[in-house]
Amino acid sequence: MKKTSQRIIILVSLAAVIGLFVFFLRDILVPYIRMEINNDVDGARALLQDKGALGFLAVVLVEALQMVVVFIPAEFIQISSGLSYPFYIAILLCDLGVCLGATIIFVLVRAFRFKADEKEVEKIEKIEKLASGHKKERSTVLLLYFLFIMPLIPFGAICYYASSTKIRYRRYLPTVATGVIPSIVTSNLMGAAARYFIRNDMPLPLLILIIVLLALALFAALFLFLNKVYFKENDGTPDSVIYAAFFRIADILRKHRQRLHVDDSLIKGKEPPYVLLCNHESFYDFYYVRRLVGKVNPAYVVNKHYIDGGVIGRLAHKAGFIPKKLFNVDFVTPRGILRAIRGGYSVVVFPEGRLSLTGRNYPIVERSAAFYKKLGVDIVVASIRGAYFANPKWRRRFIRSDIFVSAERVISAEEAKAMTVEELNLAIEDGLSYDEAENPVNSYRGKDLAKGLENVLYRCPDCGALYTTGTRGCELFCTACGSSRTLGTDYRFADGSIADIYGRIADMERAELDGTRLEAAVKTVVFSDGRPRRRRERGFCTMTREEFSYRSDSVSFTIPMSELPAIPFSCGQEFELYYNNELYYFYPIENRRQVVRWALIADIIKEERHGNEE
């Protein structure tokens, strides 16, 4: 009863003080709040200037009110005070208001067990989890500084959360008072710039530039704080701020562009580390898998070329991404995977190593079951469906549609250990096998569904003529024999799927393989390991059943086809391979549609050799 009486006395006292302020300042507060609701900045500025010293008090009280009632945005009072008063006065008034509001919140939480909004608490707890290595009270202080710089969480919600921790008031209030200053300064500077714009006829583009620069300065301060102080110990891991920022940006860009359906029933609540293997249908598969694993931050094995050298390379290293030279033996990738597993992080791998070309999976060229067995962790086999037709490798336009990502199977470490290497390889390959055309999950409508498909189906499946196919709307036709076929809303032709037609072209190439000799004059771009600059030259490529060769004025080399697992490529642009720690991009000078043919014939030769070995 004694505690209850104390709480009642405190609450009544607070209500009386607030009531007195509202009574004496009702001529200011009521119209000001009404202007805030209507976003009337000019009216608010005129009102504050007209009331003189009482306007000062109004700024403090409204700022405090916005702290207590967290859904009211604080930027309005900060910008309008910056419009109304000299810069230093506006900052002082806003900071006093924040301190008053923070004190009221502290009392409400500690004495009356008030709680913050659950959604805001969830956001804060996710961030707090990343800093679990700090000592508790120091962690709370650093966490508050970080949250106040962030523009996404209201000041009031942060204070409700902080008051619910064990932080003492003598540390709490100075932290709040100093932590909000960068945001208040930015908002008041925006108001001051707007005031100067109104009074001195500042050009509007200059005002916009000032506001943008101020926002960038705030984010730069946030980044430096995160990178140098708050998450320093997480540098180089998936718990780093760079990793979080990358996926936050991906979430903003992708979240509303597809209807993503996640089935994580097999791995929900599963603790890392584990290896997650997934098929590779589209460029955005990394994002879909990230949504599947939930709160776990896995390390990703990524094409080394995307994250090699320069600023991007340094950021990728800080984010804990693991580089992989496509279809090239190296020891960096296994070491990176092992380091991540030992650090307690799961690892995501796309074993196909390249995006699906036809909606059917590529065979796994680099079979890694022996390595996975040695890791001694569970293996999760996941699948993505619907992503291929939404944004196939050969088309630029993204079609909004349903995309399904799910965990299909968990092979425990004990189960993997009991399997032979071949049995585990087959289990993985079987789990990753798919054909999008067999079980379509969407109906696709559009006037240009076939656009770009001529770069994949480069040969007429009817007459066999090379490079005579073309597309028009949803139609694929041949200029040599006049044949034509149309894609339906299920992305199939009347006589089969895209993969079926591609298979018929592959059969033609197999039948002619003995006499096939590919030659192409190319423009070449060479990327060297650890060097930011690239080398450009012209050369000539040749490929037969036995070997691939390249020659230019500066270099000449030959690679036996037995040592060339596959040839990655970009449709209608280039094909590529590694040689002597350098990545060669070959752009055919004439007829860039031929790059798919180079890749297909390399696959046929590999398939033939694999069959002979078996």
The answer to whether the beta carbons of residues 341 and 373 sit under 8 Å apart is no
Question: What pLDDT does 351 receive?
Answer: 94
Compute the mean pLDDT over every residue in the chain, rounded to the nearest whole number. 81
Least confident of 83-97, 227-241, 435-449: 227-241
368-390, pLDDT tens digit by residue? 999 999 999 999 999 999 999 98
Instruction: Please report which confidence band the pLDDT of residue 212 belongs to, taking 50, 70 and 90 as the band edges.
Output: low
Report the 10 Å Cβ neighbour count for 224: 11
pLDDT level of residue 540 (50, 70, 90 thresholds): very high
Maximum Cα interatomic distance, the chain, rounded to a whole number of Å: 98
DSSP notation for 564-586: -----EETTTEEEEEETTEEEEE
pLDDT score recorded for residue 82: 55
Cβ pair 289, 383 in contact under 8 A: no
Listed in sequence order, the residues at least 6 apart from 250 whose beta carbon sits closer than 8 Å to its beta carbon are 284, 286, 287, 290
Quick one: which of 245, 117, 87 has its CA closest to 181? Answer: 87
Q: What's the pLDDT band for 24 if we cut at 50, 70, 90?
A: very low
pLDDT tens by residue, 164-192? 888 888 888 888 888 887 777 766 566 55
Question: In the CATH hierarchy, which fold is given to the domain comprising 241-432?
Answer: Glycerol-3-phosphate (1)-acyltransferase (3.40.1130)
Please indicate whether residue 443 or residue 11 has the higher confidence score (pLDDT): 443
- Residue 146: its pLDDT value, please? 72
- Host H or E run for residue 477: strand 475-478
Confidence category of residue 315, pLDDT binned at 50, 70, 90:
confident
Strands of the sheet containing 322-324, edge to edge, are 259-263, 402-411, 379-385, 275-278, 347-349, 299-303, 322-324
Domain boundaries, the chain: 2-200, 241-432, 453-511, 515-613
Higher pLDDT, 33 or 301: 301
- In whole angstroms, give the CA distance from residue 389 to residue 356: 10
Query: Stretch 555-584: mean pLDDT, rounded?
Result: 93
Whether the pLDDT of residue 531 is over 70: the answer is no
Confidence at 23, pLDDT banded by 50, 70, 90: very low
- What is the percent of the chain with per-residue pLDDT over 70, rounded to a whole number? 72
Using CB atoms within 10 Å of the CB of residue 406, give its burial: 0 to 12 exposed, 13 to 18 middle, 19+ buried.
middle
Q: How far apart are CA 387 and CA 392, in angstroms?
A: 8
Is pLDDT above 60 for 406?
A: yes
CA distance 600 to 313: 31
How many helices (H) and strands (E) the chain has is answered by 22, 19
Q: How far apart are CA 53 and CA 100, in angstroms?
A: 18
In this structure, the number of other CB atoms found within 10 A of the CB of residue 106 comes to 21
Q: Which helix (H) or strand (E) holds 374?
A: helix 369-375
The packing angle between helices 155-163 and 87-112, to 10°, is: 40
Answering whether pTM is above 0.75, one says no
pLDDT in the model for residue 373: 93
Supply the CATH classification number for the domain 515-613. Answer: 2.30.29.30
Using one digit for the tens of pLDDT, what is the confidence trace for 86-144?
Answer: 667 777 877 888 888 888 888 888 877 776 666 666 667 666 665 544 334 445 777 77
Please report which helix (H) or strand (E) contains residue 44, including its range: helix 41-51
Helices 75-84/181-200 angle, 10° precision: 50
Torsion region of 552: left, alpha or beta (phi above 0 gives left; psi -120 to 50 gives alpha): beta
pLDDT at 167: 86
- Over residues 20-42, mean pLDDT: 55
Report d(CA 274, CA 348) in Å as an integer: 9
Residue 185, both tokens: 């300064």
pLDDT bucket at 78, cuts 50 / 70 / 90: low
